[in-house]
Structure 1
Amino acid sequence: MKFAWKNLNYFINLKCLKLEETIKYLTLAGFEIDNIEKNTIIEDQVITLSNTTNRKEINSIFNLANEISIIFNLKLKIKTILSSKDKINLKQKKYKKIKYIKFNIITNIENKSSPEWLKNYLFGCNKKVQFLLKDIEEYIKVKWGQKVLFFDLTKIKLNTVNYKLIKSHRTFSENEMIDYNKERLFSITKYDILVNKKYVYDKNTSNIMLCYFVCNDDHNIVESISMFNNIHYEIIKTISRLGKGIIQKSQYNINKFSEKRKKITIHKNYIKQILGPLNKSSRKLLSNQQIKISLNQMKFESIYSKNRKLFLIKVPHYRNHDLVRDIDIVEEIARIHGFSYFLDQLPEYKKRGKVSIKTSYVKKIRRTLQMIGFNEIMSCSLVNTNNKKNTIKLYNPIAEDQKYLKNNLLKSIIQNHLTNIKQDFTKTEIFEIGRIFNIDNDERYIENNHLGGLVNNNKFIQKDWSGKIEELNWFHAKNILEYFFKILNAHIKWHTSLNVNNKVDKEIQSTEKYYDKYNKVYICNNLSTEMIGLFGEINYEFFKTSTKKRTFIFEINIDKLIKTIYLKKHLKYIIKPYSVYPGVTRDISIEVKKNTPIEKIKKLIINKNSKINFVESIKLISEYYQQQNNKRFLCFRITYRSISKTLNTEDLKSIDKNIKYLFRKE
């Protein structure tokens, strides 16, 4: 929207405003000022303003002036024009969409070029100048935001109009249609006003039927009959002064519609809590009186209830489309009072969000698999499948190959692996955590978190430097999964087959076709024996692949896996002080009986009553059996360390003496 600065002077006294200040406050109010340029032809500043989607009603000079008057708390310069007594009030007609409507017959119009002031007005608003009637139509639209219609009387083929033949009715595709003698004049749709091209005027038109009306919609700022008369008076005045036409009596109709003003109730504490303190020093909040003044300035009807501490607010009908929630009203109060007056500092909230146990375990599962050496992949939840049983079909798929929701993870993981084979990858160690969707027997939708994975490595292990590099086998792959469960502290059990006591997971069981029927095991809960997953070698025939590399896959229900994890809260840890003095390591050989247990010897040495002090650790490093003499010898490595001093030679001799005495006694 473009407009010249001086055009606002018709509605507002510009002596009270400065251009720079007005632009600043319009920007703070949410309007985007794209450009300001000096136009030498009209000798004025032309402002380019971008209209936001939530303020569609700001589409004319009057509507913009009304908004500026609210921001700066100024009065509009509009005189109230009363209807003249010679105008006839028709019998009430029931219009579906029209609130006020007037008709005039104007003849002998000098439809020539427009005067300079009108051309400059339209030029300042970036409108094309044509001929008088067209320019007047654009002038009213730019200035007031109202649509005025002119119909060529010669094309209607009538010198006088019988207003009783003007009727309104509703059609299927249009909100309302106005016709004359069963011929459509114009129709009002949801987005526009469509005029019958048969009666469109041109530069040669001198006799017209004028129709000016106001619709009962949410974007029209004209509410009262006095405002309607103001605009109609200017239309008639402009045509008579510039076109010198003869104007006949006006025929008008007024419809009464029920009030459409939206009501919003807001607690005063909510307003004050959102906006916060006014400044740093006083930390005072907005008072009830200040809130009331801001609401009145915006022309909102408001009532404050002291008992309930509530503001009951009636929103003007032309703001119904953008003032919907409580927060919208709070934003308007802040905008009118001035954003700069509020403390621009976010409050400190002590309450923090809490991560759920399930989310924590999923993060741990992801980190553990990445630590082991797996790479995470992500695939689309929308797939195409030939097996339509227990799958959920979308009503509006975005593509033909994305009609269904994924009911397992393994298919996409295996497809990823087959792509890697084509690229000659030597190993594939991948996993995916995602949601799967199914329909149960009662036709209820089921959504679960699953973990799927695939392991394939042609060069997995080399036993010695000269040995051959071996590929991954069954025991290696199963051990990787066992190590994963050990880190999670998951208590699971492997079953080669399921029995009556095992509760079957139908979603996991439906993936059995992907496994080799002779090389698969079920993963079950150790306590409840419930099936939580499946592990095994891939079914190469099902996927029609000729690869000889052994590949292992697994899919696990995460929710059921979490139930198998038990924290080690029962452990009792022994805390001992740490010695800062050096330790001494001695290797001793002891002759014992043939059947004497090693643990018994260790206990004898560590026992407090044995008078062998300073023992920190004891470890068996060698065992020798002499067959000739039928003797058995054990070699222990004992570490001695004192908590209070450095051990000397005398201490070590005393320890050795006690050990000899102990074993002679035994």
Structure 2
Amino acid sequence: MRISLNWLRELVTVSMSPEEIGETLTMAGFEVEDIEDRRTWAEGVVVGRVLERQAHPDADRLSVCKVDIGAGEPSTIVCGAANVRADTYVPVATVGSYLPVVDLKIRPQKKRGVLSEGMICSLAELGLAKDSEGIHIFPQEDLKIGQDVRPLLGLDDVILDLTSTANRADALSLVGIARELAAITGVPLNLPDIPERAIASDEKSLALHISESKACPVYIGTLISGVKIAPSPEWLQRRLLASGTRPINNVVDVTNYVLLEWGQPLHAFDADRLQQVAGGDRLTVGVRFANGGETLTTLDSQERKLHEQTLLITANDRPVALAGVMGGEATEVYDGSMNLMLEAALFDSVAIRRSARSLGLRTEASARYERGVNAAELPLACRRALQLLEELAEGTVESQAIVQSQAIQATTAPTIELRLDRVNAVLGPVDLSDSDEDESVIGELQSEDVERILTALGCQVAATNPDRTLWNVTVPPYRYRDLEREIDLIEEVARLYGFNKFIDTLPKEGEAGYLPIDQALLREIHQAFRAVGLTEVMHYSVGKPDEERQIQLTNPLFAEFSALRTDLLPALIDAFQFNQEQGNGALQAYEIGRVFWKEEDGLMESDRIAGILGGDPSQGRWVTSGREQPMSWFEAKGVLQSVFQRLGVEVEYQPDRRNPILHPGRTASLWIGGEHLGVFGQLHPQERQRRSLPDEVYIFELELDLLLHKMDQEDQLTPVFRLYSPFPATDRDIAFFAPTKFSVADIQRAVHQTAGTLLESVSLFDEYRGENVPTGQRSLAFRLIYRAGDRTLTDDEVEPIHQKVRDTLQEKFQADLRS
């Protein structure tokens, strides 16, 4: 935003130089990107009076002028402008002056044989216009010859080009910057005197119908009659030009002036044209969203096709303006306008952002509405505009209609509790010395400092304890959008006290940092998966909406990314397929991410681990004569089991047929301590064929929180060392037929429980189904290893235990023993 220093100094009396003001605002969070010192543009340019003008003897387009510049004898100046004439006051660049805009040093020089002692300037040469048809002629009469032209042309000003953060909507106005500067420097604020006024309402002349109260919580429409359209006075035009706004006429300029001064966008409609577009005898101004197929020609003469999310101003339900963005051409103020309808409204920032984005149109008004306009000062800005319209356009206020939603009426200034100890804990020690030359005195912020700063910002500070270390702070209405919590107030204290006053040295003694337990365990999980050869991948947490339980985004960038993911597996399968199609081989990968879904109780989320592996993971196939050797189900399970062993958790596998994308006969649900951990299985053949994937692809998905919880147990964090037995083991093999309904995990669990502490391990080493095996059964062979830590076991000790195992298999699992 461009800030005129002359205008700013009318609102707050500061004696600092422009550079000091720029440094002060920058340190307070408002970065001053450029300081445009206009005083240098016309240094040495004075008011001169053309006494006589004669044609140049040797050039048709040049004139030889005698100009009085108040230096005794008149100066002879050769001028090429067609509009130069005698008895006029003009700006004259004297000999020795420098015009930086055109990079010209004025020296005496001959032009076609005539010595020229200076230059009569145009506005373009003084930096006030891009192009000029001729020299500038002052409209004033009886100017003082030889006086400095800069005050006459507004070149005695300095322009600060500054940017503010997105949360500081109040800083997009002169008043907002003046308040900030007054709070920093402690000088008084001199805001314009805007008296209260009562305006009658007349529904026969103007009625309001706001169908979208959430998008437009406040609307003020004022009818003004008898205006006279004319150019704005010079002081107003100069301020607009200094701020980068082109003057148009006194009515439009007033709305732009209030926009710059108070940050409140306004719009003036030609009331007669508005009635003509509306039709009928009565005028009802409304606010609604556009219907499909509607169009509107805006002030830039562009016919715009409206979308359903475009917010409109209507006259008897006919579109006349883009709410908060741009007015319509059919109702604009023109030279013949006599009656106005002034709009002052509060529009929802989200609604204006969507509306402007849907049309690819962004204006000064929409930029302010998108950041948030101050609702409390909306009537004040409206009264300011009416005051200027009566003064500059001779208008008469006839009637006013106001619609205000109950939500806005019920809005109160927020009150925040602030603690002094919290302020010092967050900000740390400060340098209490008065100047840079004094020796540093380290201390803490005091109650007086906090109260002084917050009061200067316009807050009401009330201490709630005798020692004034706890306050209830009431936020001013123009800061309610960005001062919501205690930490926001602490930031304001730091910002206005001065960031450069806080101690930036580290403590002499520090404490070694450490990772939280969940982060340390999460790193172990990453290491375990990388150790078995899996690569970590990451995908977007949004995707296409294809499930009822998916959570839909209210403002998606694209339709393809409009819903939150409910699981991690689809993205991993897509990545596996993409790598295959690109000739990169089978992807062995895992991902840790968050999933989201809807339930009757509300919205849910959880963290999960998912992975995919398969195909032939080997790089060379020398021993297989170039043929691929797909990973088997047991090899894939072994990879996952290696991870669990490395993490120190015991996981049980149970048959599972519930997941439709997994093979119904090669899928297992994973259980840990009686709780469901996740699922592991082979990709369903139909899904594999649809995607043209290899024969063997395996996927898994685990609940991260449950895994972390089991790893966080005391016996897992600090494992107990067990001595290795120095005595030899004895093994026994047992083979039998068993019905397929019994899982290997159940059989192994029963064997462990029966054999007791002497059984060191039990493992399956053979499974067979087919010829010579009864229907509905399978042949299983287990190896049982017995070992004691204090002796060598004898057959007399092992055989009774082994016989109990055989009996248990026959009783519980209908085993037909073969050995």
SS at match of 1:264: strand
CA drift of 1:49 comes to 2.5
1:569 aligns with 2:710: no
Instruction: Identify the residue that residue 10 of structure 2 maps to in structure 1.
Output: 10
CA drift of 1:377 comes to 5.0
Measured against aligned partners, the alpha-carbon deviations of 1:152-203 in whole angstroms (never above 9, x if no partner) come to 688799xxxxxxx999887666999999xxx8999999736968955x5422
1:53 aligns with 2:213: no
Moved more, 53-62 or 342-351: 342-351
Q: Which residue of 315, 324, 335 corresponds with 1:191?
A: 324
Instruction: Identify the residue that residue 663 of structure 2 maps to in structure 1.
Output: 512
Instruction: Identify the residue that residue 185 of structure 2 maps to in structure 1.
Output: 72
8 A Cα contact 1:61 1:144, kept in partner: yes
CA drift of 1:24 comes to 0.9
| 1:133-532 correspondence to structure 2 within 5 Å | 133-143=251-261, 145=263, 191=324, 197-198=330-331, 200-205=332-337, 207-208=338-339, 219=374, 222=377, 233-239=387-393, 260-279=412-431, 281-306=440-465, 309-344=469-504, 354-356=515-517, 363-376=523-536, 392-393=549-550, 395=552, 405=565, 409=569, 412=572, 416=576, 420=580, 423=583, 425=585, 428=586, 430-434=588-592, 448-454=608-614, 456=616, 487-488=646-647, 511-513=662-664, 515=666
Q: Distance in 1 between matches of 2:551 and 2:403?
A: 48
Percent identity for Structure 1 against Structure 2: 16
8 A Cα contact 1:431 1:453, kept in partner: yes
Measured against aligned partners, the alpha-carbon deviations of 1:580-635 in whole angstroms (never above 9, x if no partner) come to xxxxxxxxxxxxxxxxx999xxxxxxxxxxxxxxxxxxxxxxxxxxxxxxxxxxxx
Q: Distance in 1 between matches of 2:425 and 2:477?
A: 28
Q: Distance in 2 between matches of 1:156 and 1:478?
A: 75
Unaligned runs of at least 5 residues, structure 2: 42-125, 127-153, 211-216, 276-280, 291-310, 348-371, 433-439, 730-819
Q: Distance in 1 between matches of 2:9 and 2:16?
A: 10
Q: Distance in 2 between matches of 1:323 and 1:568?
A: 50
- TM-score, L = length of structure 2: 0.50
Measured against aligned partners, the alpha-carbon deviations of 1:465-512 in whole angstroms (never above 9, x if no partner) come to x9999957868777767766665555568xxxxxxxx86556679733
Seen in structure 2, the aligned counterparts of structure 1 residues 67 and 223 have a Cα distance that, compared at 3 Å, is farther
Q: Distance in 2 between matches of 1:470 and 1:106?
A: 91
Q: Distance in 2 between matches of 1:483 and 1:551?
A: 19
Q: Distance in 1 between matches of 2:314 and 2:474?
A: 33
Letter aligned with residue 418 of structure 2: I
Instruction: Identify the residue that residue 127 of structure 1 maps to in structure 2.
Output: 245
Moved more, 329-338 or 228-237: 228-237
Seen in structure 2, the aligned counterparts of structure 1 residues 323 and 573 have a Cα distance that, compared at 3 Å, is same
Seen in structure 2, the aligned counterparts of structure 1 residues 223 and 260 have a Cα distance that, compared at 3 Å, is farther
Seen in structure 2, the aligned counterparts of structure 1 residues 569 and 123 have a Cα distance that, compared at 3 Å, is same
8 A Cα contact 1:104 1:248, kept in partner: yes
Letter aligned with residue 297 of structure 1: A
Q: Distance in 2 between matches of 1:176 and 1:413?
A: 46
Instruction: Count residues with an aligned counterpart.
Output: 530
Unaligned runs of at least 5 residues, structure 1: 158-164, 240-244, 494-501, 575-596, 600-666
Seen in structure 2, the aligned counterparts of structure 1 residues 328 and 116 have a Cα distance that, compared at 3 Å, is same
SS at match of 1:120: helix
SS at match of 2:170: coil
CA drift of 1:297 comes to 1.2
CA drift of 1:5 comes to 2.0
CA drift of 1:569 comes to 0.8
Q: Distance in 2 between matches of 1:326 and 1:299?
A: 16
Q: Distance in 2 between matches of 1:71 and 1:273?
A: 23
Letter aligned with residue 4 of structure 2: A
Seen in structure 2, the aligned counterparts of structure 1 residues 432 and 248 have a Cα distance that, compared at 3 Å, is closer
SS at match of 1:294: helix
CA-atom RMSD, angstroms? 6.1
- TM-score, L = length of structure 1: 0.59
Letter aligned with residue 340 of structure 1: N
Q: Distance in 2 between matches of 1:149 and 1:530?
A: 63
Task: Choose 1 or 2 for highest CA Rg.
Answer: 1
Letter aligned with residue 293 of structure 1: R
Seen in structure 2, the aligned counterparts of structure 1 residues 346 and 324 have a Cα distance that, compared at 3 Å, is farther
Seen in structure 2, the aligned counterparts of structure 1 residues 418 and 185 have a Cα distance that, compared at 3 Å, is closer
Seen in structure 2, the aligned counterparts of structure 1 residues 491 and 6 have a Cα distance that, compared at 3 Å, is closer
Q: Distance in 2 between matches of 1:88 and 1:468?
A: 93
Seen in structure 2, the aligned counterparts of structure 1 residues 504 and 529 have a Cα distance that, compared at 3 Å, is farther
Q: Distance in 2 between matches of 1:321 and 1:431?
A: 45
Letter aligned with residue 19 of structure 1: P
Q: Distance in 2 between matches of 1:168 and 1:542?
A: 60
CA drift of 1:2 comes to 2.0
Q: Distance in 1 between matches of 2:670 and 2:314?
A: 76
Q: Distance in 2 between matches of 1:258 and 1:414?
A: 51
Q: Distance in 1 between matches of 2:630 and 2:581?
A: 16
Seen in structure 2, the aligned counterparts of structure 1 residues 5 and 404 have a Cα distance that, compared at 3 Å, is closer
SS at match of 2:9: helix
CA drift of 1:446 comes to 8.9
Instruction: Identify the residue that residue 33 of structure 1 maps to in structure 2.
Output: 32
CA drift of 1:23 comes to 0.7
Letter aligned with residue 245 of structure 2: K
CA drift of 1:371 comes to 3.6
8 A Cα contact 2:417 2:471, kept in partner: yes
8 A Cα contact 2:250 2:392, kept in partner: no
